[in-house]
Amino acid sequence: MSHATAPAAINLDRPRFRSVILDVDSTVCDIEGIDWLAARRDPETARESEALTAQAMAGEIPIEAVYTRRLQRIRPTDDELLALAHAYRAALQPGATELIAALQRAGVQVHLLSGGLRRAIVPVAEQLGLPANRVHAVALARDTDGTLSLLDGDQPLATQRGKPLIVQQLALATPSVMIGDGSTDAAVRGVVTQFIAYTGVAHREHVVAVADAVADSFAALYPLLFHPVSSR
Ligand SMILES: [Mg+2]
């Protein structure tokens, strides 16, 4: 892993935002968790899951139309969710750990906001120095066969409008910024001060088109999240 450090002209004591919200799949980590699980099944399940994820992230179909269908097809076990947590940890974007640490040292509240599976994301958050209550993701319930194939009651993040809804409920300190690659991240635009499209893993034109700024790496996020040294 490369250790991207802050550019010299950045003042790490002067963050631009009081709250930073990061998407996980294809932003903090370069995998899509549900597709990763599906890839452990037959090729047809993997292909179908990947196509559904791509369509949902492109805004072509609502997530809620596919979320339960993918879960019921994949039927993830406890062990597989643990394996996914390890895969996430191995798939952190270069510099992600360092940037999140720098933000926290500057007193910024950092949150992970994901349509992915909470159980697999909490261990990644721990590695990033974020407590479990900064993780907002989809909680699963056990089906009769012992697999975690059901949503645990009402899970707004398994729906298209979940991210803006959760951000509103969190009543975050402002100014706030959302950083992500997908259409569900762009949907947060109206309830945060700024939306940054992250293109380091996936470049989606319609997401970039509505963004206030674009970053293609975690190193590129520094000038967007911190003031320069010279500014007073
Ligand atoms: Mg994403």
In a domain, 83, yes or no: yes
In a domain, 4, yes or no: no
The answer to whether 20 and 103 have CB atoms below 8 angstroms apart is yes
The answer to whether 182 and 196 have CB atoms below 8 angstroms apart is no
- Which of the four pLDDT bands, split at 50, 70 and 90, describes residue 1? very low
Q: Which residues are paired to 113 by β-bridges?
A: 136
In a domain, 3, yes or no: no
Host domain of residue 81? 10-228
Q: What is the pTM of this model?
A: 0.92
The answer to whether 74 and 50 have CB atoms below 8 angstroms apart is no
Q: How far is the CA of 27 from the centre of ligand 1 (A)?
A: 6
| Active site amino acids | 23, 25
Q: How far is the CA of 57 from the centre of ligand 1 (A)?
A: 8
Chain segment 179-222, per-residue pLDDT in tens: 999 999 999 999 999 999 999 999 999 999 999 999 999 999 99
Q: How far is the CA of 37 from the centre of ligand 1 (A)?
A: 16
In a domain, 35, yes or no: yes
Q: How far is the CA of 116 from the centre of ligand 1 (A)?
A: 9
In a domain, 127, yes or no: yes
Separation CA 104–CA 99 (nearest Å): 9
Separation CA 140–CA 144 (nearest Å): 13
Q: How far is the CA of 5 from the centre of ligand 1 (A)?
A: 24
Q: What is the mean pLDDT of residues 17-38?
A: 96
In a domain, 152, yes or no: yes
In a domain, 5, yes or no: no
Q: What is the CATH number of the domain that holds 47?
A: 3.40.50.1000
Q: How far is the CA of 229 from the centre of ligand 1 (A)?
A: 31
Chain segment 29-71, per-residue pLDDT in tens: 999 999 999 999 989 988 988 888 888 778 888 877 788 888 9
Tokens 């992250």 belong to residue: 198
In a domain, 194, yes or no: yes
Q: How many domains are contained in the chain?
A: 1
